[in-house]
Structure 1
Amino acid sequence: MADSATITIEEAGKLWLKSGDAAGLERTSMDQRRQHLELHIKPFGGTVKLTKVTAPWVRSFQDKLRDNGRSPAMIKRVTVSLGSILADAQGRGLVVRNAVHELSKARSGTKVSEKRAKAKLRIGVDIPTNEETRKILEAATGRYRPLIITMIFTGIRSSEARGLRWDDVDLKKGQLHVRQRADRYGKVGMPKSEAGQRTVPLPPIVVNTLKEWKLGCPASELELVFPNQAGNIEFHNNMLHRGLWETQIAAGLSVTTDKKDEDGNPILAPKYSGFHALRHWYASWCINRKVDGGLELTAKAVQARMGHSSIQVTFDTYGHLFPSTDEAAEMEAAEKALFAVNAT
């Protein structure tokens, strides 16, 4: 295809955004598309014709992103968006080849090593310890206490907590049904995957907390379990800053920052920055042995409770937390069994 018969990456990107709107993508997904296009793709390749986008050009584009301070994770995400732009252009007949996909296939042999290089979640760094979790529970007070207790003992995502309705909570049976979520803009929708629709059993502490909370919960037309004081969908930042962060600092789980208050004292920040830490703790609690205070669930059961789309996601994220078997003892037992059979 001649250069004059095609368009630039910027023009293709605008068509890509239109495709996303037409497909009804969530607002958060569209925001990410626009950010990738405006902040990363246009400045370093917006004027390039689609016919000039080859595998070597993509590598050069990635180098430019790296040289201009983009992190490896951001470069990877932006490259995926670039590939999506090219795929959309292919569907419109504006380009024949998708250099990003070709490059991805050529590098498929490195996927294993990339996975190995990914840091594992660490107890006390990414996942609160049991002692830290107890401190959070003891320090949780006020209107965010029911939210924090529920998230600790169910592992639900913050979006799922914002969209949770009283109809989704069966306090008699001790069950919580995840049927919808509310994004950061307050738009209610289905969980992102079919596996996200799930039922999670509630321990007594959650049942009793929610029974008490239901009596004082702000009235909500949407019948939300954790609405804001006006009865509407709670803002994520309020849940985070006034709920989780303040509770951690009150519990003594904080780190000092370079910033200082008016009196010159260092400003404290929470040790764990987001609700994903509580979700990680719940997963570890499900995995840990009963003798260590856990539930000792199977990997399949953990997958179901976490709402993972596949068992592979569970293993990729939490596989290293599952108790390792005593291979020496197992081999000795197998050897004895083998010779016992031969002896008969």
Structure 2
Amino acid sequence: MSVRKRKWKNAKGVELEAWVVDYSDQHGKRRHKTFAKKKDADAYAAKTHTQVLDGTHVAEAASKTVKEAGELWIKSCTAAKLERSTLDQYSQHLNLHIVPYIGREKLSRVTVPFVRAFLDRLREGDESLPMDDGTRKPRSDAMVRNVKVSLGAILSDAQQRGLIVRNAVKELGRSRATQANAEARHEKRVGVGVDIPTTAEVKAMLKAAVGRNRVFLMTAVFTGMRSSELRGLRWEDVDLQKAEITVRQRADAYYQIGSPKSKAGRRTIPLVSDLVKTLREWKLACPNGKLGLVFPTGPGKVEGHSNIIKRWYTPVQIAASVTVQTGEVDDKGKPTVAAKYPGLHALRHFYASWCINSKEDGGLGLSPKVVQHRLGHSTIQMTLDVYGHLFPSGDNNDVMDKAASALLV
């Protein structure tokens, strides 16, 4: 490896000079790179020499573009048999948010400052882009975070293929740990009456629900199952004798039956006697189908998530007056209302709080580990991050006064 000065004259006869790094990479191929300053050439030579010895060097001329690396990543995800909805989300991140901004850039140029600048452009939008299909517009903070994760995954895949040496997104994450902690201080915890229906609201909804709607609502409230798990629930996974449901599958957004979200998603949930009785009665009236589902469509197929919201969940909330003002009026001038909890996940939140609340407060008083299992969370940290503030603190005044008295005697 050598660093040499090169001099030449341009068309106007002006003498120019540059510094050229000549070297052979780990594959024995001759490479060179030109710099305006000797110190930059020396720094590159030193770094490249180490990379060649380690067998990790990737010449800029041989570097793939971010778009090419992203396409390889999508192929890897497809080969890993990720869910269709997940693949679609990853493809959207790549094609709608990454490629329009940095798709033509070489991977060798993707450094920490480069990634930081890209995320800033994404957050602020860029009117200079040639496209006019929405890609110029500013992205939300949530979308920027999601795209950053996907870009990091693209770089990790490229790193494993030997296309790059370092993952700039991971390095950026380490350098911004303090900022992330600061941002976490402003994150809102799930709250009763905001994200979690109150006991009175759930009672009102159960009272207003009839027929299939009531069976579905009771199952969601007393099992905490995800919407996809409820849509994919089979009668063969419901043991009415043992009073338990075993989650073995789920239905995705494309009506396809597949495995639960994670290994922890496979779990057994005990049932209250009232739900067992209700399910036993519903089984006699439930539409039959090859899939043997508990909550199917009329022909026995997988029910759509949007249909459940529109036909089952929202009407029950309206009937139970679990609503919020929309700020609009109808044709008679009366204020209109909407369902207070638009998503079914609110019922899962309620089940978690019911499991956590003390028996004195009408709950089950279960430990964090048991709650984790009931919800099918992959880690206890996930359970505590979302619901940790709902668990009893254990430091009531009587206990503290007694402990203090022991020290002051």
Instruction: State if a TM-score over 0.5 links the two structures.
Output: yes
- Any idea what the Cα deviations from partners look like across 1:174-195, whole Å, max 9, x if unmatched? 1111111111112222212222
1:212 to 271, 277, 281: 281
User: Mean alpha-carbon deviation: is it higher for 92-101 or for 266-275?
Assistant: 266-275
Greater per-residue helix proportion = 1
Structure 2 match to 1:278: 347
Greater displacement, 107-116 / 86-95 = 107-116
Shift of 1:116: 3.0
Higher relative contact order (CA 8 A, sep 6+): 1
Distance 1:47 1:225, change over 3 A: same
2:378 maps to 309
1:9 to 66, 71, 84: 66
Structure 1 counterpart of 2:83, which letter?
E
Give the 3-state SS of the residue equivalent to 1:269 in structure 2: strand
More deviation, 255-264/231-240: 255-264
Is 1:58 matched with 2:58? no
Question: What letter is aligned with 1:54?
Answer: T
Deviation at 1:242, TM superposition (A): 0.9
Q: Secondary structure at the match of 2:185?
A: helix
Letter in 2 for 1:52: R
* CA distance in 1 between partners of 2:398 and 2:179 (Å): 36
Quick one: structure 1 residues 271 and 100, their matched pair in 2 at CA, closer, same or farther if it must change by over 3 Å? same
Q: Greater CA deviation, 10-19 or 230-239? A: 10-19
- Which is higher, the Rg of structure 1 or of structure 2? 2
Structure 1 residue 324: deviation in Å? 2.5
CA displacement, residues 142-189 of structure 1 (integer Å, 9 cap, x when unaligned): 332211110011100001101111111111221111111111112222
d(CA) in 1 for partners of 2:408, 2:116:
59
Task: Say whether residues 1:32 and 2:101 are aligned partners.
Answer: no
Partner of 2:290: 221
Q: How does 1:82-93 map to 2 (within 5 A)?
A: 82-93=151-162
The letter of the residue matching 2:231 is R
Q: CA deviation at 1:111?
A: 4.4
For residue 264 of structure 1, report the CA deviation from its aligned partner: 6.7
Question: Is 1:21 the equivalent of 2:78?
Answer: yes
Residues in 2 aligned to 1:41 and 1:295: alpha-carbon distance in whole angstroms = 47
Farther-moved stretch of structure 1 (170-179 vs 141-150): 141-150
User: After TM superposition, which residue ranges in structure 1, 4 or more long, deviate above 4 angstroms?
Assistant: 258-267, 335-340
Distance 1:35 1:137, change over 3 A: same
Cα 1:9/1:265, change in 2 over 3 Å = farther
Q: Distance in 2 between matches of 1:265 and 1:9?
A: 54
Structural RMSD (CA): 2.0
Tell me by how many angstroms 1:125 deviates: 0.6
- The residue that corresponds to 2:168 in the other structure is 99
User: Could you tell me how far 1:266 is from its partner in structure 2?
Assistant: 5.6
Equivalent residue, structure 1, for 2:226: 157
Q: CA–CA distance in 2 between the matches of 1:46 and 1:260? A: 47
Name the structure 2 match of 1:42.
99
Q: Corresponding residue for 2:301? A: 232
- Find the partner of 1:126 among 185, 195, 206: 195
What is the distance in 1 between the residues matched to 2:328 and 2:72? 43
Taking the aligned partners of 2:115 and 2:163, their CA distance within structure 1 comes to: 18
CA distance, structure 2, for counterparts of residue 11 and residue 117 of structure 1: 37
Unaligned stretches of 5+ in structure 1? none
Deviations 1:267-300 (A, max 9, x none): 5321111111000001111111212111111112
Q: 1:266 to 1:5 in 2, by over 3 A?
A: farther
1:237-288 C-alpha deviation (Å, 9 max, x unpaired): 1111111112111211222336666667665321111111000001111111
Please give the secondary structure, in 2, of the residue aligned with 1:117: coil
Structure 1: distance between partners of 2:167 and 2:82:
23
Whole-Å separation in 2 of the counterparts to 1:256 and 1:182: 33
Name whichever structure is richer in strand by fraction: 2
Matched, 1:172 2:241: yes
What is aligned with 1:251?
A: 320
